[in-house]
Structure 1
């Protein structure tokens, strides 16, 4: 039985980071919105309550039934979770006179407390809250303080319920990993057996049991996720896996031929489909980003359905959905504004009549890469940058035309090749060129030009949930800009995007 930790999400920007830290300690965990809590199974070892942008004093603040968890499981409340439990169980929470944000140091730690094992006085922690716990009930024990926050941590006496008013998941909390490990191992009793090797072994066995002798179709993209999903399925069901690689006309330069060549030695049963004209014709005149995504998704399903019907008795559709796709497609507040449609999350049209299998939908991107390494995939596949499902269509702002695609493919190829030549490709999490819907004046030779602009984007990240722009060397950027302007007809200006996520997203559309 796979032991797990449940993280209840009250809307904190740090919730996914808590999950990542738990996974890094080789403990499996799942995030669930506070208002959509699953039935707690026997394999659950503990519960973590996340922070929240809400104040517990607000009328519309997130509410849960604490009796479902308190005294039944070890619990760790973080910030809002700590304040909520204190308030609900008889304590007092008030607005701080000043927002407590940033670094602080512990000036009191309860000797012998399991949560603070191997954590010393003066350990740095990261505060981020507008409320503070001013009074705890009599059955609560104070276990840590800072100069400005008396109740930095508490334990409910004679229980395994703990709470902290700081964030252990961020690197600014220097002993945060130790605190989480104390909770997971010493308090919850987790065995720390969640590894990529264990995932491969159990997933292949689960796939064999689930799929039996059924046939499965999978849309390969050449990316990390679909490649790892394909190898897992191939090891489980062999030739019953039918891989289809569709050229939608929106791939990088020479990518279609290159990916088919790379997959040859993997033993996969793969078919390439040239559908460029079909996709590009449906994008003519479409400028809205969401409509572009939907058009590409619709045509892909049509093309894929045509090909899948050529496989007799196919019953399953495999997808390379990963955990961030799932997380970003749900909300703690129920239906919410769509940031973007995920091309591989959601239901299938009724006419496809296929069941869905998603062997990677519990993994973050870096975990997918580790699983790929365990499966023996080569670095050129494992280390490949993420590439959006709709391809270059969402890197061409405005209408997509064959001419714009050709220009962007050339500029993007120069960009990526230069990153590789400079030894920077593997240091960048994701990079790509964006075709901007503006023209600018320029001078080439003795002539005045009025041509297009390209924006270069490169970010550092771990899983794509947050990202920072890369500080690429000026000399490399200068060389890339010079080559694009000189070699790509129609481009006379190159700019560099220095926005982080949040508030920006990695892609522009």
Structure 2
């Protein structure tokens, strides 16, 4: 179980990278969880952390109302690492000096290693990612300064006797050349953590937990076709077999071949019972005349709930169904304020907007995992790679990738264009390098074109290749021109209603990944 692994608690001071710190720790083979800076020392220490990492944050440690961690943390004998704001918080708490020097640093910054010590062992002068206006001008007594930059006289320090260390830069971001090395040095050389965590270990642990919780009762799972729900369902099916029934609601807003693929491949691999409800007419009726994006989402979400409730009543016998499987991930837990090591199985929670009064206990076997860890678990379970590494797909499906009213004709146009774009991406071997690839139909926009020596007045299609680690921030994917050319040529040749293909090259922020 998770209790058998060392735990690193990441204290969040409002950093945009707190989740990334937790992921980097896990990549180093050590399990991690996030807790807010407002947590009391007692709550933090009762988790029995093997180490604590203090995140960055947007404020100044000496400013009024700035966030602080209880000083007892520094006297508890637990190894502590500070990053950016956390580095300054530790320095101030331990008697060092933090000041505004007027030498701010943002972005890529050269760092000079003066003394490697344990923290910077194996690290030479490198480029790191900085984001600070304040600096540590004097390290606390007993702490050895290790590095400096043009704007930070003390850019890193350590006290191996107290097992404390820190850096001014952000080692968790990829722009820091020595970032992962620094994190691993702290975890192993200073904190003495065991590197025995791997995402696949969650499978056996989750299977055992489900068996214990469910016993001989029946379980229902709303299978969306996304990797999260499929992996969660596969874990539960491995635990309880035919006590599980999966329900796949075919709302008619899926990509081409998606329903068939889920029905065939998922059942073939897992042996799970699957009920497929083809209710596309119901959804199209609810979407008729709807243009506002939020109204679309609500219409789709509400109708999905009604269909799911109807199906649950249809398949329930006299004994009823007690449990519902949900593919909740750790980022969902953290963002909803629950990132404090909640149990893998809990008795009440909303599921994608499901009413709170639903009489289900929830099973959430993935709630401690990040997306990449879910994929690792899926591969261990033997799910097909094409399912495990599918690009994330929004719950409302193609309904929010049509700008304008959703109709069957428009869905068919977009389905074909989307299929062509994804097929060419796969042929080019670029599926893994692109996080998500929305293809958007500007249904209420027409542009003039020339096709077959004649004038056309067709729809534009927007390609939106995106790269990201967690979808919280994202950049547009730089696809090779020859790949874009093939996509454009095929779409305009094979989808007669389309005469123009454009590429969205906007990052997130300011844009979102989806258009609606």
Normalising to structure 1: TM-score of the pair? 0.90
User: Any residues of structure 2 matched to 1:422-441 within 5 Å, and which?
Assistant: 422-436=428-442, 437-441=444-448
Measure the CA separation in 2 of the matches of 1:123 and 1:433: 39
> What displacement does 1:392 show?
0.8
> What displacement does 1:76 show?
0.8
SS in 2 for 1:228: helix
Cross-structure match for 1:119: 123
CA spacing shift, 1:81–1:304, aligned 2, 3 Å: same
Q: Which residue of the other structure, out of 299, 303, 307, is the alignment partner of 1:299?
A: 303
Name the Cα RMSD after superposition: 2.5
The question of whether the paired residues in 2 share the 8 Å contact of 1:104 and 1:127 is answered with: no
The question of whether the paired residues in 1 share the 8 Å contact of 2:164 and 2:190 is answered with: no
Normalising to structure 2: TM-score of the pair? 0.89
User: Any residues of structure 2 matched to 1:361-400 within 5 Å, and which?
Assistant: 361-400=367-406
CA spacing shift, 1:90–1:422, aligned 2, 3 Å: closer
Cross-structure match for 2:88: 83
Measure the CA separation in 2 of the matches of 1:47 and 1:198: 23
The question of whether the paired residues in 1 share the 8 Å contact of 2:135 and 2:153 is answered with: no
SS in 2 for 1:190: coil
Cross-structure match for 1:503: 510
Measure the CA separation in 1 of the matches of 2:454 and 2:178: 62
The question of whether the paired residues in 2 share the 8 Å contact of 1:229 and 1:320 is answered with: yes
2:362 is aligned with 1:356: yes
2:495 is aligned with 1:492: no
CA spacing shift, 1:317–1:40, aligned 2, 3 Å: farther
Cross-structure match for 1:261: 264
> What displacement does 1:29 show?
0.7
SS in 1 for 2:136: strand
The question of whether the paired residues in 2 share the 8 Å contact of 1:70 and 1:161 is answered with: no
Unaligned runs of 5+ in 2: 340-348
Cross-structure match for 2:25: 22
Cross-structure match for 1:272: 276
Measure the CA separation in 2 of the matches of 1:85 and 1:477: 50
The question of whether the paired residues in 1 share the 8 Å contact of 2:28 and 2:184 is answered with: yes
Cross-structure match for 1:453: 460
Deviation string, structure 1 residues 87-123 (Cα, Å, up to 9, x no partner): 344443222423213222224126xx43233334x24
2:54 is aligned with 1:49: yes
The question of whether the paired residues in 2 share the 8 Å contact of 1:460 and 1:470 is answered with: yes
2:12 is aligned with 1:9: yes
Cross-structure match for 1:181: 184
2:253 is aligned with 1:247: no
> What displacement does 1:268 show?
0.8
2:97 is aligned with 1:100: no
Cross-structure match for 1:408: 414
Deviation string, structure 1 residues 281-327 (Cα, Å, up to 9, x no partner): 22233333333223222211111111122223211111112223334
User: Any residues of structure 2 matched to 1:131-210 within 5 Å, and which?
Assistant: 131-155=134-158, 158-210=161-213
Measure the CA separation in 2 of the matches of 1:465 and 1:440: 33
Measure the CA separation in 2 of the matches of 1:344 and 1:325: 12
> What displacement does 1:262 show?
1.8
Shift >6 Å, 4+ stretches: none
Measure the CA separation in 2 of the matches of 1:99 and 1:268: 57
Moved more, 365-374 or 88-97: 88-97
2:482 is aligned with 1:478: no
Cross-structure match for 1:417: 423
Measure the CA separation in 1 of the matches of 2:350 and 2:372: 19
> What displacement does 1:384 show?
1.6
SS in 1 for 2:512: coil
2:37 is aligned with 1:34: yes
> What displacement does 1:269 show?
0.8
